[in-house]
Amino acid sequence: MLSSFWRLESILPRVFFWSGVACLFFQVAWQRLLTVNYGVGSVSITLIVSVYMLGLGLGALVGGYIADFAPRRLLVYAPGVVELSLALFGVCSLPLLQFLGQHTAGASIGVSLLSMCAFLCLPTVGMGLTLPLMVKIFDRPGEKSFLESISLLYAINTLGATLGCLLASYVVISFLGLDWAVYIASAIDFILSLLIFKFAHTAQASVEENTQPAQPIVFHDWIPFVTIVTGFLAIGYEIVWLRFLQVFLKSSPYTFSTILSVYLAGIGIGSYVMSVILAKHQNLDRRSVFFLLQVFISVYVLISIAGYYWLTNNTEAKAVTAWIFSAYQVLRPDEQTLLNNWLIKYPWLVFIRQYSFVICPLLFMFVPTFFMGGTFPLLSYLSLPKRDQQGQTVGAVYFMNTVGNVCGGIVTGFLLLSWLGTEWTFLLFGLVGLSMILFVRSIGSLQLAIPARLAIFTVAAAIAIAVFPAKGEIWRAIHMSTTAPAEQAQWRTYVQEGEDAIVFTMDNGHYLRNSINGLTHGARGSTFMFQRETLEAVACTKNPRNVLIIGFGAGATLDALLQDRRIEHITLVEICRSNLENLKKIESIRKTLEDPRVTIVIEDGRRYLQANKNKYDLILIDPLRTIEAYSNNLYSKQFMQLLSERLDSGILLVWLDNFDILPNTISKAFPYLNVYNYFCLASRQPIQSDRAVYDQILSKFPKDEQEKINKQETILLATENTLRSFVHTEVINEDWRPASEYYFGRTIINKVSSN
């Protein structure tokens, strides 16, 4: 019968690996689909992630008690029941999301939270149940240590999640869509449930029946506190790494998935390697090893961030920052020349830039996450009071760690980044990690007395504080890296970091360039594209009394609209409060925002329209590039239909950076449209331009700006009658099929078809 059990044990790691793949498919798809109904603002995203993580923690807590006290028949079949339940819920989840969206989209935060809980509680609790159940079945006293068992299973599941994260974004969603990610995850879980049911009956006799009455485990006094703190730091580090790297590398669904995959891979590999090392060195003090890992994490983070800042500011490594950061930026000619000169001098920059989306996360994150990988298994090992209480131990430690994760996400995202900035948040986390040296009793055979620990911490903390960059300095170093040193003194720079974004504005009195999270969002003086497109839209609007703008940029669109005295009211919906706060530091922009005809709403554009039924005469949107993360929420067919419902006979202006999918998508909601070389006008009525109105509003601008606006090249490329011959695809953006945002699949298909 023991050999029969080995048959089940041999498939458990494989089952748990693919369970991790399916869970990440579900997580990526569900979290993304929930933002369609509840927005992509910092509050909405935090609530979605917090509910998801709490469900996992509660599931682990319940699963621990089931694992330790359930009859053996239930124990060996329980993972199969969980996987089958997840498969069935996955199949039903998309209709359920549609139902919730129809009744609660755009609702208050309280109603949104209840809706998220209603949707996520069942599947996330089920996912959380799995780890303690698997550990209880897999861990066999006398055959392997508990530390080996938990480390192996935790590593396998985390590496499965790593693969799932990459497959979900680069393959499944890119080629098939969000709905297919859910269906494939459901299929995986269904197959896993069949495998477990097939082999479970052979293992029943080998799993010892626990007839002892339920006895709650009792932890050492320091275990709960340290578990919560390390969970707090783990998610806190993840958030500030994401903030730093997404500004550096730019925000896209692929950037996020790559960063998250490196994070998970480091944890998974670290978990396994640490267990192997500790198995070979049985004499090591496990408690000291755990605290040393926290110290190693902090030392690496502090050195990597401070070292990067120093190298960028003081050496020719600035060329690397400039060459990577310049991707997707609208560069001035002198900056492009500067980069080309660096490229000639350092040809290896091409390789770094091409693979920077992998190199940078590996450089900054892999080593510390490798050390993080040993944290959870070691904590579980140190917490285990009796060998027959594996389930409770794993479940309780996982739950406490998750509580720390949730607290870390909320406090870091909403408080620390706004109060301290990225630099000092890194420093604070590093100092907390360094303080763990106070609990290290020995390093190998070297015993550390308390005075020695205090001395090490004091010296290390003093050095870190002395060399670490001040608040905002990393962002200045990155954003100014593409500017020649001789020109840097000519620019006045403004930095604002909040829970929503990093905003960096450069102004030299003649030109202004505004960046949000590393990407240019609005400019003044160097281009008059925004003024020209706005005038074209106003000239086609018969009576623009009530106007809606989604996305402020640097305010050129709002400035142009205010020149038309026919406009009585302008509603400005801007998701990024930090953008407005930063630009208000410039007097001319502050006066524009204080115009009595302007009402400012800090909100997600889609969420605002879902919650308000107001009608408009003119709507202008230029919120995101179509390849940026979450852009599809404002460029899908369903959103265009929502805009159409808010316009009777008015005009919609949409900035274009995609001339196939986006015009196609707009045409599904608006029968009439004019596609120009950088924007599109759409309407439910035929579009006719009144040049007298155009000239009248143009005359309100200063003379020199009038010439520049008129010289701005504006070419009509297609209308509703010629659109079919102009575009090269039938693909459109859908809420479930974000084709332009997840562009990888479309790019591959186009290359294959062209060959």
Mean pLDDT per block of 10 residues along the chain (755 residues) reads 51 90 97 93 89 95 88 77 96 95 90 94 95 84 75 94 96 96 98 87 53 55 90 96 92 92 97 87 88 97 97 89 75 54 69 84 97 92 79 91 96 95 97 96 88 96 97 94 80 94 93 93 91 96 95 96 96 97 96 97 96 95 92 97 94 95 96 96 96 94 92 94 91 96 88 74
Predicted TM-score of the model (pTM): 0.93
**Of how many residues is the chain composed?**
755
Contact 425, 417 (CB under 8 A): yes
Instruction: List, in order of start, the domains of the chain with CATH numbers.
Output: 1-207 (1.20.1250.20), 527-754 (3.40.50.150)
| Residue the block writes with tokens 């720079």 | 493
Neighbours of 337 (CB within 10 A): 12
Stretch (H or E) spanning 616: strand 616-621
Burial of 557 (0-12, 13-18, 19+ CB in 10 A): buried
The first and second tokens of residue 40, run together, are 């992509």
Contact 569, 596 (CB under 8 A): no
Q: What pLDDT, on the 0 to 100 scale, is given for residue 6?
A: 45
Contact 253, 632 (CB under 8 A): no
Contact 200, 80 (CB under 8 A): yes
Give the contacts of 551 (CB within 8 A, at least 6 positions apart). 521, 573, 574, 605, 621, 622, 623, 624
Give the contacts of 58 (CB within 8 A, at least 6 positions apart). 124, 125, 128, 399
- For the chain, what percentages of helix, strand and coil (3-state, to nearest 5) are there? 65, 10, 25
Q: Residue 308: what residue type?
A: Y
Contact 51, 404 (CB under 8 A): no
The first and second tokens of residue 519, run together, are 């990407």
Strands 442-443 and 446-447: antiparallel
For residues 367 and 106, what is the distance between their CA atoms, to the nearest angstrom? Answer: 41
Q: What pLDDT, on the 0 to 100 scale, is given for residue 659?
A: 93
Q: What pLDDT, on the 0 to 100 scale, is given for residue 407?
A: 96
